[in-house]
Amino acid sequence: MAAVAAGVGQQWVLVEMVQAFYEAPAYHLILEGILILWIIRLLFSKTYKLQERSDLTLKEKEELIEEWQPEPLVPPVPKDHPALNYNIVSGPPTHIITVNGKECINFASFNFLGLLNNEKVKSAAQASLKKYGVGTCGPRGFYGTFDVHLELEERLAKFMRTEEAIIYSYGFATIASAIPAYSKRGDIVFVDEAACFAIQKGLQASRSNIKLFKHNDMADLERLLKEQESEDQKNPRKARVTRRFIVVEGLYMNTGDICPLPELIKLKYKYKVRIFLEESLSFGVLGAHGRGITEHFGINIDDIDLISANMENSLASIGGFCCGRSFIIDHQRLSGQGYCFSASLPPLLAAAAIEALNIMEDNPVIRTMTIKCQSISGLKVVGESFSPALHLQLEESWGSRENDVKLLKRVVDYCMNSGIALTQARYLEKEEKCLPPPSIRVVITVEQTEQELDRAASLLKEAAQSVLN
């Protein structure tokens, strides 16, 4: 019975279907017909294969493998490349330095406050060596955090008058890890053209959009910021999540200039951009107490989002630190690659840095020395007068960069033979974004006396005379 009813029910549905078929409008039927034909075509057509996979036979593949010749792992380096004939220093690179067997006065090491040879620093390091040994045998997360690290971080934070500080075991890695921790793909970074290589590598690792502005040119920066603002108005949703940063250095290593921080602060609040300040050269040098460029200009340190510096210049240790508000610095403890995935700073270096910091705090150094190189013909001085690292560039280029480098080398050699140790500023020519012109680096430290500075100036004059004329 039920089966019959089911059968009737089925038939009834079938009748309905046929009726619907007759009653449907024409365009509907035509459309359905076309779709059915299309499906049939797709079902029976050959699947789309990537041409290459089916084209090569095994024999051809083997031949290709046989034929392929790679480049040599490294291109040959000419034997007279300047970096292969480097200066070897015997003994500590202090004020009187023994370079290649000859004693000279040191105008080349970044030992700004003369703390390299300080007895108190050395004895603090010795005490630490006795207690902790040399290495830390682990990254910060896995029993590599020593009480000296915590103490150094506290001292640095207190010295710079910020909430928190974080230390890295290598100066280069400090800013190169800090930038990618905050700025990711899609964010925008405005950076000065003369930024140092470590900043460039940090920016490359961050994969953000980089916008270079002319060195110390605030008008150019403002132009870029305005352009960005008009871009934002076209796409406000994206603009709400795109972070923006300005990366500048306090004292530029490549040019010796100071950055105009007060104007930058104004731009920061006007365009809502965060500022990252790299103070490797200015820490310990600028400001009444050596707190850097913020003290020099009298700016509230909280206005700067992140200050990064390395401890290898003024503090005569190894490593670097970042300081700022806890809100910002704490993030690096989990996302700073050079912090999480690398062994921590050896305790003896941290102890040395603490002692150096103590000395800096107790005797704030007033830098008044400067080298009187203004009247050297053929060479011009590049950099602020109070900058500890100056550049001496050729007034006019003698053709190619190679020639310039060779000439400057002769000047440097002349000076070295007469007892003043100088060095050329070294760059990786193919890797720099904006390669600075070749120059001699002159470093003024507090240990140099007036006579030594005069002697250096006159020697440079002589060297320039004899080589360039």
Partner 1 sequence: MANPSAVCNGHLHHHHHQKQNNLLKSGISKKNGIIKGTKKNGVSNGTLYKKPFIEHFEQAPMYVAVFTFVGFAVGTIFGYLRDFMRAWGLEKRNIAAEREQQKDFVPLYQDFENFYTRNLYLRIRDNWNRPICSVPGPQFDLMERVTDDYNWTFRFTGRTIKNVINMGSYNYLGFAETDVNALKTVTIELEKYGTGVCSTRQEMGTLDKHVELENLVAKFLGVEDAMVFGMGFATNSMNIPALVGKGCLILSDELNHTSLVLGARLSGATIRIFKHNNMQSLEKLLRDAIIYGQPRTHRKWRKIIILVEGIYSMEGSIVRLPEIVSLKNKYKAYLYLDEAHSIGAVGATGRGVVEYFGMSPNDVDVLMGTFTKSFGAAGGYIAGKKDLVDFLRTHSHSAVYATSMCPPVAEQIIRAMRCLMGLDGTTQGLQRVRQLEKNTRYFRRKLHEMGFIIYGNDDSPVVPLLLYMPGKIGAFARRMLEKNIGVVVVGFPATPITESRARFCVSAAHTREMLDTVLNALDELGDFLHLKYSRYSKSSHPELYEESRLED
The residues with which 167 forms a beta bridge, in sequence order, are: 321
Least distance in Å: CB of 246 to partner 1?
12
CA dist list (Å): 417 to 299, 382, 412: 45, 24, 9
Toward partner 1, which CB reaches closer, 221 or 318?
A: 318
Nearer to partner 1, 108 or 258 (CB): 108
Least Å distance, CB 305 to partner 1, is 8
Q: Residues 150, 154, 159, CA angle at the centre, nearest 5°?
A: 150
| Closest distance of CB 32 from partner 1, Å | 41
Positive or negative, the Cα torsion across 113, 117, 123, 125?
A: positive
* Min dist. Cβ of residue 362 to partner 1 (A): 19
**Joined tokens for residue 179:** 């930038």
The nearer residue to partner 1, 28 or 49, going by C-beta atoms, is: 49
Please say which residue, 16 or 431, places its beta carbon nearer to partner 1.
Answer: 431
Closest CA to 467 of 392, 422, 415, 423: 415
What is the nearest approach in angstroms of partner 1 to the Cβ of residue 141?
5
CB of 365 to partner 1, least distance (A): 16
* Min CB(371)–partner 1 separation in Å: 17
SS3 373: coil
Phi-psi region of 161 (alpha: psi -120 to 50; beta: other; left: phi over 0): left
Say which amino acid occupies 187: D
Confirm if 374 and 383 have CB atoms less than 8 A apart.
no
The string over 80-119, giving b where at least 16 C-beta atoms fall within 10 Å of a residue's C-beta and e elsewhere, is: eeeeeeeeebeeebbbebbbeeeebbbbbbbbbbbbbebe
The strand pairing partners of 187, in sequence order, are none
- Our CB check for partner 1 shows the closer of 151 and 217 to be 151
Nearer to partner 1, 45 or 230 (CB): 230
For residues 430, 431, 437, 438, the Cα torsion angle rounded to the nearest 10 degrees is: -70
How many residues belong to the chain? 469
Minimum separation from the CB atom of position 44 to partner 1 (A) = 31
Closer of 255 and 313 to partner 1 (Cβ)? 313
Where are any strands of DSSP class E within 148-288?
164-168, 188-192, 209-213, 244-249, 274-278
Residue 128 or 216: the one with the smaller Cβ distance to partner 1 is 128
Tell whether the torsion through CA atoms of 117, 158, 301 and 287 is positive or negative: negative
d(CA 464, CA 458) in angstroms, rounded, equals 10
Residue 8 Cβ vs partner 1, minimum distance, rounded to whole Å: 51
CB of 283 to partner 1, least distance (A): 13
How many CA atoms are closer than 13 Å to the CA of 414, on its beta-carbon side?
Answer: 19
Which residue, 206 or 216, is less far from partner 1 as judged by CB? 206
CB 185 within 8 A of CB 207: yes
Q: Which is nearer to partner 1, 35 or 64 (CB)?
A: 64
Alpha carbon distance 62, 240 (integer Å): 54
- Residues pairing with 212 in the sheet: 191
